[in-house]
Amino acid sequence: MQPLLWDTSTAIWIYERARLSQAALDAMSAAHREGVPSYISPITAWEIGMLTSRGRLQLLIKPERWFANLFQVSGVLLADMSPDLLIASSYLPGKPPRDPTDRIIAATARCWITARRGTSRCWSAELTAKPNL
């Protein structure tokens, strides 16, 4: 089983004890049972800050504390957010999401797949376009 990557909505829904899909619950249970980590992108911290500052998310504690509490759950870790990953989020193939946070989360997942194929860097020849440097 591959590690899981929670997006911001997943983290919020878990916090709010909202009903998750059975597939999501099954994946989280299997990961926990098998000792496979679940990751949260650092961009989720930024998104939580933006949502609370704009009044779109109400928390009972400060956003910094809320985000830190996510990692109190066994097996939940902070994902890497390197400069290469941020650049790669600008060059996703196909029709990537317009939301920058969703692009970064998608690039994080894509970089893991690339790493599993033996490429140590996020930036790889698999990307369909490269910037002119």
Residue 8 has pLDDT above 80, yes or no: yes
pLDDT per position as a tens digit, 11-53: 999 888 888 899 999 999 999 999 999 999 999 999 999 999 9
Decide: 11 and 70 in contact? Cβ < 8 Å: yes
pLDDT value, residue 70: 95
Report the distance separating Cα 115 and Cα 93, nearest Å.
17
pLDDT value, residue 114: 54
Amino acid at 31: A
Helix, strand, coil percent values for the chain (each to nearest 5): 50, 5, 45
The DSSP output letter for 70 is: G
3-class secondary-structure state, position 5: strand
pTM of the model: 0.80
pLDDT per position as a tens digit, 60-87: 999 999 999 999 989 999 998 999 899 9
